[in-house]
Amino acid sequence: MATTDLRTGSLERHGLSDEQLRDMFRNMLLQRQLDNRGFQLNRQGKVPFALGSEGHEALQAGAAMAFHRGHDILAPYYRDLGLCLGIGLSPFEILLSIFARADDHNGGRQFPNHYSSKAAGLMSFSSILAAHLPHAVGAAYAIKYRGETGRAVLATCGDGTTSEGEWHESMNFAAVHKLPFVMLVENNEWAISTPLDKQMAQPEIWKRAAGYGMPGRRFNGFDPIQTYVAVKEAMDRARAGEGPTLVEGTCYRYLAHSTDDNDLTYRTREAVQERRKDDPVPAFEALLLEHGIVTADGVAAMRQDVLRETNEATDAAEALPYPEPADLYKHVYEGAWEPWQS
């Protein structure tokens, strides 16, 4: 396992270049800025809903680094802003989703954070947890069926989703058929208001892998390098035709579930503050500074650049129109549609 230690500052690169390490850090900064932007726009009354991934930044920046653009397929869930940025979505595309503009990939139909982009290999998904996992497995079957090598499906979910029947069904089918499939669980300890001990008696999700006859491992999801190593190893196995893997990254959900949730009804501010001590964004920054991979000036410039990019994306997306009312009737089926045939 990786030997990175964010507390002591030791760094094992696992082949990652300075540029890749900086890219991961920039992704983390961008996630936090865009998350914050969604909440700001909601509090300003400009958008009805926002949802953040704060606490998942390192995990997603690291996992995205193990994704091969143009080859792999991502089947994410709704708390995957950083992964989606990391596989190629732009802040502008994120803002189009937040503002529900006509040019959004979903045409303004879905909630924010429900990204979809066929060009990026990002599978459309709904808000119904685990429903996307059979889709991911079906896509993995298609890859194997066509004999395509060097491709795999990276599917993600939170700890909450692992209670769903379709989580089990998907894991089982992927294992039976030795599919190019990686199940990445982002364990942030909360299923909206329900803590882990009310979700499962045995809290180490990765251990379930043995029950499916596939390898499993757990890593510290606050460490982007450990995440990268674990996800890369699993994806390499999958791409090589060696079958699926369950990887579990531990992290924490710092924000409420969404702008419609008040997390103080089920956990204390102090408990969240305690976990903030492990916040992966300043920790990774300190590590990169200590090893001379970034400078203090470089970080300041990066923050400025991320803010500028977010502001430009916000202005550009906000200026664009909503879908037209007539768009409601499009894409029900191929072509024009009437349930009554005449």
Partner 1 sequence: MAVVSSTNSTVMNNVEAVRATLYEAMKNDERTVILGEDVGARGNVFLITKDFIGEFGERRVIDTPIAEASIVGIAVGMAMEGLRPIAEIQFADFIYPSFNQIVGEAAKIRYRSNGEYTCPLVIRTPYGGGVRGALSHSVSIEALFYHVPGLKIVAPAFPDDVKGLLNAAIDDPDPVLFLEHKKTYRLIKGEVPDGHYTIPLGKANIRKAGTQLTVVSYGLYLHWALEAAERLAQEGLSVEVLDLRSIRPMDKTAILNSVEKTRKLLIVHEDNKFGGIGAEISAMVAEEALFSLDAPIRRLCGPDVPSMGYALPLEEEFMSSPAEMADAMRAMVKF
Binding span for partner 1 by CB under 8 A among 100-108, 232-240, 265-273, 292-300: 100-108
- By CB under 8 A, the residues from 247 to 286 that bind partner 1 are none
Binding span for partner 1 by CB under 8 A among 62-70, 98-106, 232-240, 263-271: 98-106
Residue 114 a catalytic site member? no
What gap in Å lies between CA 319 and CA 328, rounded to an integer? 21
Q: What separation, in Å, do the N-terminal and C-terminal C-alpha atoms of the chain show?
A: 65
What gap in Å lies between CA 194 and CA 265, rounded to an integer? 11
Residue 266 a catalytic site member? yes
What gap in Å lies between CA 25 and CA 57, rounded to an integer? 9
What gap in Å lies between CA 300 and CA 98, rounded to an integer? 26
How many residues at the interface with partner 1, by CB under 8 A?
Answer: 47
Binding test (CB under 8 A) with partner 1, winner from 126, 273, 304, 311: 126
Binding test (CB under 8 A) with partner 1, winner from 71, 131, 207, 261: 131
Q: Are 145 and 134 in contact (CB under 8 A)?
A: no
**Cβ atoms < 10 Å from Cβ of 46:** 12
H/E element, 183: strand 181-187
Out of 22, 266, 267, 275, pick the active-site residue: 266
Kindly state whether residue 322 participates in binding partner 1, applying the rule CB under 8 A.
no
Binding test (CB under 8 A) with partner 1, winner from 172, 193, 194, 199: 172
Q: How far is the CB of 165 from partner 1 (least distance, A)?
A: 6
Kindly state whether residue 292 participates in binding partner 1, applying the rule CB under 8 A.
no
Binding test (CB under 8 A) with partner 1, winner from 68, 142, 278, 302: 142
**Cβ atoms < 10 Å from Cβ of 258:** 20
Kindly state whether residue 339 participates in binding partner 1, applying the rule CB under 8 A.
yes
Kindly state whether residue 176 participates in binding partner 1, applying the rule CB under 8 A.
yes
Burial of 65 (0-12, 13-18, 19+ CB in 10 A): buried
Binding span for partner 1 by CB under 8 A among 9-17, 44-52, 138-146, 253-261: 138-146
Pick between residue 292 and residue 335 the one whose CB is nearest to partner 1. 335
Out of 32, 37, 101, 253, pick the active-site residue: 253
Torsional class of 11: left (φ above 0), alpha (ψ -120 to 50), beta (otherwise):
beta
Residue 253 a catalytic site member? yes
Burial of 147 (0-12, 13-18, 19+ CB in 10 A): exposed
Q: Are 52 and 35 in contact (CB under 8 A)?
A: yes
- By CB under 8 A, the residues from 17 to 76 that bind partner 1 are 73, 75
Kindly state whether residue 340 participates in binding partner 1, applying the rule CB under 8 A.
yes
Q: State the residue for tokens 């664009």.
A: 320
Residues of this chain that interact with partner 1 (CB under 8 A) are 73, 75, 104-107, 109-110, 114, 116-118, 123-124, 126, 128, 131, 133-143, 145-146, 165-166, 169-170, 172-173, 176, 330-334, 338-342
- Which of the residues are catalytic? 253, 257, 266
